[in-house]
Amino acid sequence: PIDLKANSKKLVQGTFLIYGESGSGKTRLAATFEKPLFFSDSTEKGWVTIEGMDRNLFYDPEIYPVVEPMSSPEDVNKLLAKYSKDIHEGKFKTLVFDSLSFYGDAYLSILSRKGEFKDGRQMYNVFYNHIRYIMIEIHKLPIHVVWVCLAKESAKPGEDGSILMPGKSQVTCPARCSYW
């Protein structure tokens, strides 16, 4: 495990992936990072977890996490524009994207409803490129980034599953993160 407080001067920027089953404590863990700003799926209601947490569990008990709900993929760009100045000025030290799995489902659903694709592979390629773009752009920010994902069940008992993301994203999303 990484002791962020002990290494905060050494760790300039980290990209983290927290994944697990529903209710396993992913959001709770993410809320313990330094000065977190959450972009949270509005249907998942992860902020309810944060509201119920003991403030002493936060990195700094005096600083309560800021939570912004996302209800559509367009919200990501709006929220990045809204908080860009604060991020660059260091008012936040961690951006938590909660959850990439829910965001991916929503975006894939939008693509599917459009009906523009003759072949499902085209749709998944557009999906993959979009997720790739979002991750690359967010990783450029001068801030720790925590991606929260649901876990996919392992094919074999006793083995860890991967993240719950469609197609090659379940392999490439974790590869873009420094710590799992």
Give CA–CA dist 28/66, Å, rounded.
14
Give CA–CA dist 153/163, Å, rounded.
9
List, for residues 32-89, the tens digit of each pLDDT value.
999 999 999 998 877 788 999 999 999 999 999 999 999 998 999 999 999 999 999 9
Asked if residue 170 has pLDDT above 70, the reply is: yes
**Banded model confidence at residue 156, pLDDT cuts 50, 70, 90:** confident
What backbone torsions phi and psi does residue 141 show, to the nearest 5 degrees? -70, 150
Asked if residue 171 has pLDDT above 60, the reply is: yes
For the chain, the first-to-last Cα distance in angstroms comes to: 10
Give CA–CA dist 26/28, Å, rounded.
5
Q: Of all residues in the chain, what percent carry a pLDDT higher than 90?
A: 73
Tokens of residue 154, six digits: 């392992």
Tell me, what DSSP letter sits at residue 168? T
- The predicted pLDDT at position 10 comes to 55
Determine how many CB atoms are found less than 10 A away from the CB of residue 67. 20
Q: With H, G, I as helix, E, B as strand and everything else as coil, classify residue 55.
A: helix
Sequence-distant (6+) residues with CB within 8 A of 158 are: none
Tokens of residue 67, six digits: 């939570």
Average pLDDT of span 77-105: 96
| Count of positions (residues) in the chain | 180
List, for residues 8-38, the tens digit of each pLDDT value.
555 568 999 999 999 999 999 999 999 999 9
**Banded model confidence at residue 94, pLDDT cuts 50, 70, 90:** very high
Give CA–CA dist 61/173, Å, rounded.
31
DSSP string, 142-156: SSEEEEEEEBPPPSS
Asked if residue 144 has pLDDT above 80, the reply is: yes
Give CA–CA dist 170/40, Å, rounded.
20
- The predicted pLDDT at position 79 comes to 97
